[in-house]
Each structure stands twice: as structure tokens, then as C-alpha cells.
Amino acid sequence: MSDLRQAQLAALTGRPALVVVDVQNSFASAEVQAAVDVIAGLVDAARDSGVPVVWVGLGSDPERPWKTSAWLRQGDPDAPYGPDEPCVLGTPGAEWHRVSPAPGEIIVVKRAYSGFLGTPLEVLLRQEGIGWLAVCGLTTECCVAATATDACQLDWPVLIPHDATAAYEEALHEAALTQLALNVAVLTDAAELTRIWKGASA
């Protein structure tokens, strides 16, 4: 372990939280299933260690469409939702995929990439006295990256377990991790993160 990494991990103080991003049916392609397996184990490990699990999910609302997304994907900001629109509220696509919140765990519904944009996530984390975050979920280059970046900008140290995130292409996943490690977070894996949690709760 490098001196910098040792210092980074040693400086983690306060209560940790695990933020699970967009593990929903709309994003549950075959390419991400191995990461979902790891995420499920991490959720169990967090609960066993007394680490709060925070759930962030996309909720696409036909009554309040994200016009910039429609413009970017279809060239028309006023395009109506089609059958491929992900995570439309009230549909099976928006439901959790193979993992789900336990009673009392924080759930935040977002309408864009970041779990912090236009949601109460920052306030809820501060009310819980959270000192640092581990961010996992789907997909690495999109909503995981956006949520982790905002967490860093809001002054939370962020760890990203690389085996508990995924993209639909491995090269995209690796490129996103490289960028996140440069500017946003310390990369880890599920096994190391679990050891850190157990050490923090010892």
C-alpha cells in the first residue's frame, strides 16, 4: 500500500454509509449481473457492520420529463416517453433488481444522473452524521460517477468498490474508474471495504 493510500484510508473519520445507485430492472442487463452479486454481498456486510445503506433510484416521471435527456438521446426535447424509457415511475423497470431496501433505510428518487441533484440526499446524510461514503451500483460512467462526484464536491470522502460497479462495456467501466480515481474517489473492492467497515465498528 502506498503512503498516500495509507494516509487516505487512515483519515476516514465519522460514520460511513453505503450508497447503492440505480440497481433497478431497467438497467439489469447480463453485463452487470456479476456486479449485482457483489453489491448484494456488500449490502449484507454493511448491515452486519451497522453501516447505513442508502438507496438511490431513478424515477422517470412522464409529468415532469427530463427534456435535456430527450434532446441528447433523440434530438427532440419534447419527445414523449417511449417503451424503452428507463425506470418510469410505477412500472416494473423502476423496481429494485435482486437487492432491495430494508425497513427504515433511506430511499431517494432522482430524475437525473446524480443522487444529489434536486433530492434531499445531502440533508439526510448530514442528519445521520455521515462522515464518508462508499458508492456502488449502475452504471459506473453515468449515475455512479455523477453521484460520487457530487459527494466529493460536497466534501464527503468517497470510496468506490470497483467490483460493485459495472457498465455495459468493460472498457467504459475501466475508463470511468480511471477518471474517478484521478479526480473523485479512492478505489477499493468489496473485500477491503468490508474490512474497513469492521475496523471502524470495532
Query: Which residues of the chain form beta strands (DSSP E)?
Result: 15-21, 53-58, 106-110, 130-138, 158-161, 165-166, 186-188
What distance in Å separates the CA atoms of residue 105 and residue 83, rounded to the nearest whole number?
31
Cell of 34: 456479476
Residue 80 DSSP code = P
Beta-carbon neighbour count of residue 99 at 10 Å?
Answer: 19
Residue owning grid cell 441528447? 72
Q: Verify whether residue 142 is a known catalytic residue.
A: no
What distance in Å separates the CA atoms of residue 140 and residue 105, rounded to the nearest whole number?
23
Q: Are 164 and 38 in contact (CB under 8 A)?
A: yes
Catalytic residue, chosen from 87, 136, 143, 152, is 143
Which residues does the annotation mark as catalytic? 143
